[in-house]
Structure 1
Amino acid sequence: MYRMEGGKAFTQALQNIADLVPLPFLSSFVGVGIKVLQACQDASTIEETVKDLQERVFGVVLEVVNSTVASNDEGSVELRGGIETLQSVLADILEDLAKIQAQRRWLLVFFRGLNKDRVDRCVSRLAMALKKFQLRVETSQLRIETSQLRVEDVLARITALRPQLDRIEDAVNQFSQPHKATSHREDMRLLPPIFVGRDALVDRVARLFATQKTSRVCLTGVGGVGKTSAAVAVTESSIIRNIFPKEYIFWVPCITAKSSDLLRRILYTQLRITAATYDSLDPLIAELNESKQPRLLLLDNFETPWLSGLDAHEVEQIIRRLEALPHIALLVTITSGMPPQGIKWEHVSLPALEPAAAREVFKTTYRNAAGGFELVADDAQLDNVLESLGHIPLAITLMATHGGHLGASLDDLLVDWGKAGTEMLSAGRLSMDDTISLSMERGVKSNHNALTLLAILSMLPAGTTGENLLKWWARTIHISTRAVAILRTAAVIEQDRGAFATSRIFVLPTIQSYMSHQNRISVDVRNQVHDACYDFVMRHKSVPDDRKFKSDLEALASEETNIQGLLMDIPVDAPRPNAVDALIAFSFYQSWTKPSTVVASHALEVARAAYDDPHVTDRDAAARRVAAAHECLGKLFLILNRYDEACGHFEEAATRYKSLHGRSDLHCAGEALMQLVRTWSLSTEDPGDLESLVTEAQTNLAHDKNDQYHVARGLIGFGRLLRWSNHLDEVLDPLSRAKDIFEKLDCPASTAECLYHMARTYAYQNEYAQALSISKDALKQADESGDAGLIRRTLRITARYLMVLGLHQEASDIIARTLSESQAAGGPGTIAQALELLAYNCAGMMDVAGARVAYQGAQAQFTKIISTQLGRDGVERCSTNLGMLDGLIVMEQNDFSRLKHPLPMY
């Protein structure tokens, strides 16, 4: 049948050589025959009848061409007359089919009988014309058996006819071939063996070609992200194949087209069009314009002629002339999002792979390269590797192939990546370095500012905003929009949408790795970026009682990843000026946000090395830095419920502060001692005699009576001691005096701390209504300060007081926020206390299932700190309550009253 591949191949051959047949009347006949066959295909709603007509017309055209080409009497009047008669019949059939096609599709159902009769009459007319044709050409022994023509016969005759048609086509092509023209035509690229994670994007791009309005699509993305594969997948989609038959989809590889001349030659070759010369595009445009058959041109790697060539204007003219043909659809892959102007492009950016797809590509590629052996690693380990590669498909494929061939572990691969970077990513002709280097050649290497800017951005793994780039990181060089445009055009940086000042500009991990090796970033640039980092941290150094504390937190948070990476690069033996101060300041920042001991431990190591340096001139300053590093590390261990380690650092900090010359650092010793007291009270059931320690802390804090701030800090410590020693009638006086001082000094964090302890004192005396009111005031002040740790503690007591007062719905809102804040902090003790509050409140709301799940979560977190009193008590309470809830289906008030409540409830 015509609709089979053999029929398609035959009609394609006829279409290609119809105008080359030396008999004009035969050429005309073939043209009409092809139109009838195509019309039959379009009118296939009346399926069986049209199939029969297709088959008969197909057989007639085949036999006529075969007999005429093989005849020794091609000029016969009889032969010509018979063919012209058949052509007239075919023209009438074509007209009837056009009438059928003109009907609305839903009307075809009602006119099925009428249309069937019309097609049957077409078949009859064709049969009669064939009989007359047989008589006219009887001497040529034409035999047509249309009523019994089989597919096998058709295919056999195509095979016999093909060499004759090929000889004619080859002869004409050879005659028309211009001198020195390239005759090598590249086939469409194949999809890679592993192609996942792109289905939605491929479908989206394919649908854009459904109308001429969106038939100019620009697929953009960095080198190695898989633009070519995605574009090929688009051309193979069923949506595209319904619009453009396979023979009308053309692959135009532009990677070697470094000039408009080469681009023209490639177009002629790939589109199978010949001309006397390739110096003009006119013959190609004329050929494309002659047939209105829709065609799809895939111009792959278009950045080469457009961005790397020397005659971009001429390249633009070529594209605009192609675009002017409405039946020519364009799919362009390019690294830059700036294709030729004057064309209404549909821009589609190809992102890196999603984590799940990236894992699948890596594992499958590794297994194939390893001869079937599976990669032994969990997803978390693999995700670390994939993140270092930026989830770029080419980098993933090369890394997995490299690892699979060697049987290497992920740890081995990460070590290699750290040492060699993108140099290790190569397989055969594929190389990540080559891909990046090609991008770099697009104006970057020849522009000093652009290259310097790329080096700076490559040292900032998280990228930065345009404002911070100009104000901090690149302030020593003049950054013009030209330099940014060059880097974006070369696709070595990416920029979020929006205004330059607020949008984030960043370099992908593969580019960062490429730049970090082979001394591609100069020492001067490295020093400049590090100095900018230290300055940025010190300019945003503050404490919770400073009014600018919250804005400083936001500023540091915006650059946290970059800062941490740069600070961890500080060498222990030779830090630059301000490096140690920046390390300590940033460590304190993390104690107020997301606690981590990594930077603080490095800060202590660097501070100790600086203090031990025999060439140090200011030993007091060096000693002060060591003390501050100990204090900060102690604070972090306290937040993370590692109490024993915290105590050691607080003790060391207090000792070092007290040993400094003069008395200006005694208040620092007092603060360290206050933290030590708090840690001891949490770490053991019987912290022992804390009175002498609190007295010493208060004395150190209040050594300068004119320093009202630290005098008030000492009063807080004294008030806490009175509460611990059960002198409740005396607690509120020092706390109230301290609160008054902090309010006058406009210190929200310390004011909140005073209110926090006052609320707990009232709660301890069972005055929960008063305690709740004060705790809400404390929460407002804590929120105003921005101190996350203080906010968490205040949230917890507010939730407790609400539950005691039976306000469980209001408590739910507070607990939800408590859980969020605790999760951000990350300490198991903090999370455990929030989950236990949730469990108890669920029970108070008679939600037994919710209570059970929350208690199980709290128990798991308390178990992580089982070595502490807090952990042991928490595990015991959760275990007891889970036992009471076991088997319980409906919660009653009596059941709730039997549960152990969180401790303390004050």
Structure 2
Amino acid sequence: MTLLSDRMPESGSVSSWVRKTASKLKSPPELAVKEKQGLPSNAMYAIDGGKKLAEALQSVSDLIPLPFLSSFVKVGIRVLESCQDAAVIVEDVKDLQDRVYNIMLVVLNSALDGKTSLELRERIETLQLVLVGILTDLTKVKQQRKLLLVFYREMNKDLVDKCVGRLAVALEKFQVASQLHVEASQLRVEDLLARIKADHSALFPQLDRIEATVNDLTQPHNAPSRREDMRLLPPIFHGRDALVEEIALLLATEETSHVCITGVGGIGKTSVAVAVTQYPLIRTVFQQYIFWVPCITAKSSDLLRHILYAQLRITAETYESLDPLIAELDASKQPRLLLLDNFETPWLSGPDPAEVGHILRRLAALPHIALLVTMTSGVTPEGIKWKHVPLHPLEPAAARQVFEETYRDAAGGRELDAGEQDLNGLLDSVGHIPLAITLMASCGGHLVASPDDLLRDWKKAGTEMLSTGMKGTLSMDDTISLSMGRGVDSNPNALRLLAILSMLPAGTTGKHLVVWWAPTLRMSTHAAVRILRTAALIEQSDGPFVTSRIFVRPTIQSYMSQQNRISPEVRAEVHDTCYRFVLHHKSIPDDHKFKADLEALASEETNIQGLLMEILVDGVSRPDAVDALITFGFYQSWTKPSTVVASHALAVACAAHDNPHTPDLDAAARRVAEAYRCLGKTFSMLGRYDKACVYLEEAINRFKTLPGGGDLHCAGEVSLELVRTWVLKGGKSVNEFKSLCKEAQANLSHDETSKYHVARGLLGSGSLIWPGDATLEILSKAKAIFEELDCPASTAESLFCIARAYARRNEYRTALPFATEALTKAKQSGEVDLICRVLSINARYLVVLGSYDDAEAMSTSLLKTCAVLGSPLHNGQALELLAYNCVAKTDLRTARLVYHAAWREFNKIQSTRMGGEGMGRCADNLKMLKSMTGTQNDFSVLKKRFPMI
């Protein structure tokens, strides 16, 4: 043997050839793969060779006056064909086929040496009857359905064993009668042919045919004859340079030379691997000894071995063992790199993964052999020290570059005419998966379609619009279907879990998956997750199962959403779970579970919003669906305000109220009032105070006039929210404020037995009265009640108002401890807006007291918290305070930058009093900063927010 050689081996014995060919029979699907490639399969070689040998025998029998020999040969051929088919079902049939080949050679020898035709005929006919019986049994095996084969596998094995036994007995009797005392397994066809040629010179032409056929059959046809070339790197390849270099460095070092690139179908594993093989360092280390091993058709360990022999250009007398290949590789210590692409096919889809793992371990055991494996799953063969490299989607900039260049090529040089934001939306929808980007851009370029057009089509058709891949490229549906075929399509539980996860665009934690989203699976959730992960249809972040994130890529979500792949039953179950989850975490800031509820809702926010937005406005919405919408709208007003859900909640609530089929109109009317309140509060948090006032005023009126009787407590709470909005908006007189405050307190305190609401009324009143002992007395009374009731948020607000009352009197040192205690309580509650307001007064009081370092730390914390809330007012005030503090510390350069940022935030709400005043202060201070030199005298002339309370 020699590496990189096409030399064929010497012929071996027929018996060894028989064993080789018989043991290599393949199942029909594998034959189809070979035929599709233009390569004859091993079984095809074997049966075709058997037919050629039989034809040669038939030509000899024509010259020998033995008419019954032709009949025997025909039956033998039929048995060989049946053996081929039955080998798919029963492994032990290989030995049977081995014996059939041998018996045909024995009969030839006996036919030529037979002394009496009658005696020979009887013995041959006896053998033929045995073969006919075996043919009948094999036909029974072949006709069984797949389901029966599972249950009767052992029975089939026994049947074949009996066939082998009958044939062995018949052959023994035949040989004894023929006085041929040589074991069939030890016959050498060369000896038989030499003997026949010596005695029967008249048969030279026919015997030459037999010899040629046998010699042809003994060649190693069971190894693929065509070697595939290394794949080319795609012409458009961006965003992977750092990763390619990282993998190259790993492979070039012997200790880390086993690298496995994993990732979902279409993410570019093969492209990255090919780029690695072209990396200069790799070319230097491995030179020309870089081998491409395509595994996509290697559906068994046997086929994998054959592909290895072909791709490494190693020949051997037998390909049934890896020994010759390993010996050849071990003989030369030249470093070699083997790129095994699509390794998931033999490893995950084949019938013998243990043997596949054994092959890989034997290769890995050679220290100078580097392995670069690409596969969808991260579940790799054990016993090898792998360096796993999970492949992630492209970064936005690289994704845009790939799209634009592909689009330009497909459009004949025409550039994409679209804004970055539009293109980013399209790329987000396909999850930045390279194959999806390439197919989408190619489609758009050929049609000269805009990203908006493509996005609309994607939302309608999903991966179906990419069903036709580019030349030589699988479509997205193809790649996903291959993964679906790895144990998922046939597993109802795994399929159900995939459908559930496909409805959760942000994924979920292992804990929520088990407890909430998939508690009814008829198998272990962990087992179903393992099946889906192995098939590379879902992904799981690092860490323990309960806290790790389990999610599905957008392309697979889209695939599942088409053609009713998600059943109505699963859809209904997921929606029901969503409503239950939201309502289970419904609370207010004074509840001790409020902070934990915010965290739970935050972990599922994207999923919940997507599911809630699917609730139809014109349908008969279930009460729990409307309640969930409103509850989630309030959650967002406390965390990161958005009118999307709140507006939808109001539309759905109004439609349900107006629907004549709604069963409980009183409850429906309350939901409408709550929805108005939610949307009004949200507008206020966003600085859109005019709209906020409209919705809050409507909510107050609706709470007062509920069909079943007014809810004055709720009306009073909304009135307090409206008062605060008036303060921020400006333009109201003192009398209007006082009137609304009195009304709010009266409504909240109408039931004196409800201490909580009485205290809320006192808090509302005390927070708006100007400095005086009465204010502090009212606030202290409210604080005492809240402390007694253990209400963290209202206690914090009471302390906040007390601190502010002292600050109004310029007693900042007295105010600061109350502000500090308020911050502790606010953090205990978890209400972000309250935390921002309390942090703000702490920072201001520290600036006034000259504690600039402490003020800077507090301002930095304030900015981080404001960023979560996203309120322009909070952001502007926090930035302005930080800029002012920077000037106090004579850091003028930073002060200018921060004042500019503050001005931009105030500009977002410039129509309001707070926004306009903030813009004016920032603009004036920026002008003054131009002439400042960085002294404390400069600080004194700056404009600051007044009062600093």
- TM-score, scaled relative to structure 1: 0.78
Q: Secondary structure at the match of 1:390?
A: coil
Unaligned 5+ segments in structure 1 are 1-12, 21-172
Q: Does 2:674 correspond to 1:633?
A: no
Q: Tell me what 1:266 maps to.
A: 307
Q: Does 2:242 correspond to 1:200?
A: yes
- 1:177 touches 1:275 (CA, 8 Å); kept in 2? no
User: How far did residue 414 of structure 1 move?
Assistant: 1.1
Q: Tell me what 2:267 maps to.
A: 225
User: Quick one: distance in 2 between partners of 1:18 and 1:439?
Assistant: 39
> Counterpart amino acid of 1:757?
C
Q: 1:765 to 1:268 in 2, by over 3 A?
A: same
> Counterpart amino acid of 1:300?
D
Q: 1:216 to 1:853 in 2, by over 3 A?
A: closer
Q: Tell me what 1:659 maps to.
A: 705
> Counterpart amino acid of 2:666?
D
Q: Does 2:567 correspond to 1:525?
A: no
Q: Tell me what 1:731 maps to.
A: 775
User: Quick one: distance in 1 between partners of 2:633 and 2:522?
Assistant: 32
User: Quick one: distance in 2 between partners of 1:627 and 1:461?
Assistant: 31
Q: Tell me what 2:102 maps to.
A: none
| Mean CA deviation greater in 863-872 or 610-619 | 863-872
**Could you give the per-residue CA deviations for residues 85-106 of structure 1, whole angstroms, max 9, x where no partner exists?**
xxxxxxxxxxxxxxxxxxxxxx
Q: Tell me what 1:157 maps to.
A: none
Q: Does 2:908 correspond to 1:864?
A: yes
- 2:297 touches 2:345 (CA, 8 Å); kept in 1? yes
User: Quick one: distance in 1 between partners of 2:821 and 2:427?
Assistant: 47
Q: Secondary structure at the match of 1:598?
A: helix
- 2:879 touches 2:901 (CA, 8 Å); kept in 1? yes
Q: Does 2:626 correspond to 1:580?
A: yes
Q: Tell me what 1:605 maps to.
A: 651
Aligned pairs for 1:213-292 within 5 A: 213-246=255-288, 248-292=289-333
User: How far did residue 433 of structure 1 move?
Assistant: 0.6
Q: Tell me what 2:418 maps to.
A: 377
User: Quick one: distance in 1 between partners of 2:660 and 2:716?
Assistant: 30
User: Quick one: distance in 2 between partners of 1:314 and 1:755?
Assistant: 72
User: Quick one: distance in 2 between partners of 1:18 and 1:273?
Assistant: 9
**Could you give the per-residue CA deviations for residues 464-485 of structure 1, whole angstroms, max 9, x where no partner exists?**
1111100000012245232111
User: How far did residue 801 of structure 1 move?
Assistant: 1.6
Q: Tell me what 2:717 maps to.
A: 671
**Could you give the per-residue CA deviations for residues 754-803 of structure 1, whole angstroms, max 9, x where no partner exists?**
11111111111111111222211211111111111111111112222222
Q: Secondary structure at the match of 1:224?
A: coil
Q: Tell me what 1:298 maps to.
A: 339
User: How far did residue 14 of structure 1 move?
Assistant: 12
User: Quick one: distance in 2 between partners of 1:405 and 1:887?
Assistant: 59
User: Quick one: distance in 2 between partners of 1:233 and 1:630?
Assistant: 58
Q: 1:478 to 1:902 in 2, by over 3 A?
A: farther
Structure 2 residue corresponding to 1:846, chosen from 877, 890, 894: 890
Q: 1:424 to 1:14 in 2, by over 3 A?
A: closer
User: How far did residue 293 of structure 1 move?
Assistant: 3.2
User: Quick one: distance in 2 between partners of 1:18 and 1:256?
Assistant: 25
Aligned length: 739
Structure 1 residue corresponding to 2:549, chosen from 491, 504, 516: 504
Structure 1 residue corresponding to 2:459, chosen from 415, 418, 431: 418
User: Quick one: distance in 1 between partners of 2:732 and 2:587?
Assistant: 35
Q: Tell me what 2:58 maps to.
A: none
User: Quick one: distance in 1 between partners of 2:480 and 2:464?
Assistant: 11
User: How far did residue 666 of structure 1 move?
Assistant: 1.1
User: Quick one: distance in 2 between partners of 1:410 and 1:792?
Assistant: 40
Q: Secondary structure at the match of 1:578?
A: helix
- 1:840 touches 1:902 (CA, 8 Å); kept in 2? no
User: Quick one: distance in 2 between partners of 1:360 and 1:732?
Assistant: 63
User: Quick one: distance in 1 between partners of 2:5 and 2:391?
Assistant: 37
User: How far did residue 275 of structure 1 move?
Assistant: 3.7
User: Quick one: distance in 2 between partners of 1:662 and 1:396?
Assistant: 57
Q: Tell me what 2:842 maps to.
A: 798
- 2:7 touches 2:315 (CA, 8 Å); kept in 1? no
Structure 2 residue corresponding to 1:360, chosen from 391, 401, 408: 401
User: Quick one: distance in 2 between partners of 1:225 and 1:585?
Assistant: 39
Q: 1:763 to 1:349 in 2, by over 3 A?
A: same
Q: Tell me what 1:455 maps to.
A: 499
User: Quick one: distance in 2 between partners of 1:592 and 1:633?
Assistant: 12
- 1:635 touches 1:646 (CA, 8 Å); kept in 2? yes
User: Quick one: distance in 1 between partners of 2:462 and 2:7?
Assistant: 57
Q: Secondary structure at the match of 1:623?
A: helix
- 2:6 touches 2:313 (CA, 8 Å); kept in 1? no
Q: Secondary structure at the match of 2:237?
A: coil
Q: Secondary structure at the match of 2:677?
A: helix
Aligned pairs for 1:703-782 within 5 A: 703-723=750-770, 728-782=772-826
User: Quick one: distance in 2 between partners of 1:845 and 1:317?
Assistant: 69
Structure 1 residue corresponding to 2:668, chosen from 622, 631, 649: 622
**Could you give the per-residue CA deviations for residues 162-190 of structure 1, whole angstroms, max 9, x where no partner exists?**
xxxxxxxxxxx999853475422210001
Q: Tell me what 2:947 maps to.
A: 904
Q: 1:869 to 1:177 in 2, by over 3 A?
A: same
> Counterpart amino acid of 1:695?
K
User: Quick one: distance in 1 between partners of 2:674 and 2:4?
Assistant: 85
- 2:3 touches 2:328 (CA, 8 Å); kept in 1? no
Q: Which runs of 4+ in 1 moved over 6 A?
A: 17-20, 173-176
User: How far did residue 601 of structure 1 move?
Assistant: 0.6
Q: Secondary structure at the match of 1:743?
A: helix
User: Quick one: distance in 2 between partners of 1:627 and 1:266?
Assistant: 71
- 1:815 touches 1:837 (CA, 8 Å); kept in 2? yes
> Counterpart amino acid of 2:285?
I
Q: 1:297 to 1:693 in 2, by over 3 A?
A: same
Structure 2 residue corresponding to 1:594, chosen from 640, 643, 655: 640
Aligned pairs for 1:400-415 within 5 A: 400-415=441-456
Q: Secondary structure at the match of 1:717?
A: helix
User: Quick one: distance in 1 between partners of 2:591 and 2:789?
Assistant: 10
User: How far did residue 430 of structure 1 move?
Assistant: 2.7
> Counterpart amino acid of 1:273?
I
Q: Does 2:333 correspond to 1:333?
A: no
**Could you give the per-residue CA deviations for residues 83-135 of structure 1, whole angstroms, max 9, x where no partner exists?**
xxxxxxxxxxxxxxxxxxxxxxxxxxxxxxxxxxxxxxxxxxxxxxxxxxxxx
User: Quick one: distance in 2 between partners of 1:766 and 1:292?
Assistant: 85
User: How far did residue 342 of structure 1 move?
Assistant: 2.6
User: Quick one: distance in 2 between partners of 1:186 and 1:603?
Assistant: 60
User: Quick one: distance in 2 between partners of 1:342 and 1:614?
Assistant: 68
Q: Does 2:852 correspond to 1:808?
A: yes
Q: 1:18 to 1:413 in 2, by over 3 A?
A: closer
User: Quick one: distance in 1 between partners of 2:830 and 2:222?
Assistant: 74
Unaligned 5+ segments in structure 2 are 10-214
Q: 1:236 to 1:741 in 2, by over 3 A?
A: same
| Mean CA deviation greater in 418-427 or 644-653 | 418-427
User: How far did residue 684 of structure 1 move?
Assistant: 2.0
User: Quick one: distance in 1 between partners of 2:523 and 2:832?
Assistant: 37
**Could you give the per-residue CA deviations for residues 707-742 of structure 1, whole angstroms, max 9, x where no partner exists?**
00000111112213422xxx6332112111111100
- 1:828 touches 1:865 (CA, 8 Å); kept in 2? yes
- 1:177 touches 1:274 (CA, 8 Å); kept in 2? no
| RMSD over equivalenced CA pairs, Å | 2.4
User: Quick one: distance in 2 between partners of 1:281 and 1:410?
Assistant: 52
User: How far did residue 415 of structure 1 move?
Assistant: 0.7
User: How far did residue 15 of structure 1 move?
Assistant: 7.9
Q: Tell me what 1:210 maps to.
A: 252
Q: Secondary structure at the match of 1:822?
A: helix
Q: Tell me what 2:190 maps to.
A: none
- 1:453 touches 1:479 (CA, 8 Å); kept in 2? no
User: Quick one: distance in 1 between partners of 2:216 and 2:229?
Assistant: 21
Q: 1:760 to 1:211 in 2, by over 3 A?
A: closer
Q: Does 2:569 correspond to 1:569?
A: no
User: How far did residue 290 of structure 1 move?
Assistant: 3.8
User: How far did residue 280 of structure 1 move?
Assistant: 3.8
